[in-house]
């Protein structure tokens, strides 16, 4: 199991500090939140992109993915979504990242129309992603929070450069058992986001193992060589504990959960 954490847990932290935290705490990778309020975003020039990539390479830490905010199932015209997908895949390519994360975002739109739009847009983006050596992953989130929802779209696209990102909190909130989520997502799975929360009504991030999410059951389903990323949503919950002080214990907890059973 290869471990990463998301910069959502350390909002605004300069990249050299992110690399240091990963290396010192034994994380092989980092998922970079791509947003204008963060150091990495779509507006970065080529020299800035090269500098970020070099910083991670010097530290021996992989940029696992670029967490973008394109909403591929949202109502509206296709072209703005396609433009954003292209920009995100270019950013990932320039940074040396393997993956781009996108959201469904269908809102109240008719589910069949939302699915069709998501599949159409992702299918159109797939050849360019292939050319750039990047996979676009649709996250189990918002309108498509169950694994079955995301698998339905990814299966319709049927392209190797389009996959799924399994956020274990959202599939749990959808009432899906981990074994069921994995069964439908496995053919498409890029990597997994883990986290922990107190309850369905209180999603304030907690230290891994301090909450109710079925992390062991999720990890039991995974390829032992796959990526697991801790998405600690500090950005949305300023009252939550600071992530840097939790990273070492979080890594140890995940390694214990993922250890082969005797």
Per-residue pLDDT, averaged over 70-89, amounts to: 98
pLDDT (0 to 100) of residue 261: 60
Query: Tokens at residue 100, please?
Result: 């781009």
Phi, psi at residue 7, to the nearest 5°? -70, -5
Distances (CA, A) of 254 to 31, 93, 262: 17, 29, 17
pLDDT (0 to 100) of residue 262: 47
Confidence grade of residue 84 (pLDDT, cut at 50, 70, 90): very high
pLDDT (0 to 100) of residue 258: 85
Pairing relationship of beta strands 29-33 and 99-103 according to DSSP bridges: unpaired
pLDDT (0 to 100) of residue 33: 98
pTM greater than the 0.85 cutoff: yes
Is the confidence at residue 200, as pLDDT, over 50?
Answer: yes
Confidence grade of residue 79 (pLDDT, cut at 50, 70, 90): very high
C-beta separation of 59 from 19 below 8 A? yes
Taking the C-alpha atoms of residue 12 and residue 89, their distance in angstroms, rounded to an integer, is 22
Is the confidence at residue 183, as pLDDT, over 70?
Answer: yes
CATH, domain 2-258, list 3.20.20.150, 3.40.50.300, 3.40.50.150, 3.40.50.720: 3.20.20.150
Confidence grade of residue 98 (pLDDT, cut at 50, 70, 90): very high
Tell me the torsion sign for CA atoms 169, 170, 173, 177: negative
C-beta separation of 229 from 7 below 8 A? no
pLDDT (0 to 100) of residue 108: 94
pLDDT (0 to 100) of residue 69: 98
Average pLDDT of every residue of the chain: 97
Confidence grade of residue 131 (pLDDT, cut at 50, 70, 90): very high
Is the confidence at residue 222, as pLDDT, over 60?
Answer: yes
- Residues whose CB falls within 8 Å of the CB of residue 44, separated by 6 or more in sequence, listed in order: 52, 91
Confidence grade of residue 67 (pLDDT, cut at 50, 70, 90): very high
Confidence grade of residue 213 (pLDDT, cut at 50, 70, 90): very high
C-beta separation of 147 from 176 below 8 A? yes
């Amino acid at each position: 199991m290869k471990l990463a954490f998301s910069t959502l847990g350390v909002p605004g932290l300069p990249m050299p500090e992110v690399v240091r935290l990963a290396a010192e705490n034994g994380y092989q990778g980092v998922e970079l939140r791509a947003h204008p309020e963060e150091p990495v975003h779509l507006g970065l020039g080529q020299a800035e992109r090269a500098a970020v990539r070099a910083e991670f390479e010097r530290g021996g830490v992989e940029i696992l993915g670029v967490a973008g905010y394109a909403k591929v199932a949202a109502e509206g015209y296709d072209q703005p979504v396609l433009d954003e997908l292209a920009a995100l895949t270019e950013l990932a390519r320039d940074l040396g990242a393997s993956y781009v994360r996108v959201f469904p975002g269908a809102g109240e739109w008719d589910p069949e129309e939302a699915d069709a739009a998501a599949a159409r847009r992702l299918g159109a983006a797939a050849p360019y992603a292939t050319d750039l050596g990047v996979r676009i992953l649709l996250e189990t989130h918002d309108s498509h929070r169950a694994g079955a929802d995301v698998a339905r779209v990814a299966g319709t696209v049927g392209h190797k450069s389009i996959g799924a990102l399994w956020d274990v909190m959202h599939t749990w909130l959808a009432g899906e058992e981990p074994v069921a989520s994995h069964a439908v997502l496995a053919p498409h799975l890029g990597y997994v986001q883990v986290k922990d929360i107190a309850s369905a009504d209180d999603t304030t991030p907690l230290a891994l193992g301090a909450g109710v999410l079925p992390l062991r059951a999720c990890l039991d389903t995974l390829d032992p060589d796959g990526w697991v990323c801790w998405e600690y949503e500090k950005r949305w919950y300023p009252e939550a504990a600071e992530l840097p002080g939790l990273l070492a214990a979080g890594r140890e907890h995940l390694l214990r959960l993922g250890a082969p059973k005797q």
